[in-house]
Amino acid sequence: MMAGEPSEAIREMFLPRFLSAGQPLDMAVFMRLESEGRLHCEAIAYFSPAAVDLAHAFNAEPCEKPFRSGLGLIAGDDKCWSVLFPENTS
């Protein structure tokens, strides 16, 4: 229930960067709730490579590209899915 707080802070910091970059389709932030067998879920944000400066602002660490399943877009253009996850488009 508290996942909205970090995602709102990410959105607020994302928007000016996104607009100044010309709203690129490869710039986005996604979130997934993960429990890994625990009682409580953890909200994990995934920043696309084009959002690296924002990722640094949140002390995010590099990781492998996440699987699309279960991801929700929290910042960016809805058309980013086909650019960032082309293997999942028909």
> What's the number of domains the chain is made of?
1
pLDDT for 43 equals 82
| Structural domain boundaries, residue 56 | 4-88
Sheet holding 29-34, edge to edge: 42-47, 29-34, 72-75
Phi, psi (deg, nearest 5) at residue 47:
-100, 130
SS3 73: strand
Q: What is the largest CA-CA distance in the chain?
A: 41
Tokens of 84: 């960032």
Dump pLDDT digits (tens) for 9-22. 999 999 999 999 99
Q: Tokens 């690129």 correspond to what residue? A: 24
Q: How far apart are CA 45 and CA 31, in angstroms?
A: 4
The structure's pTM equals 0.85
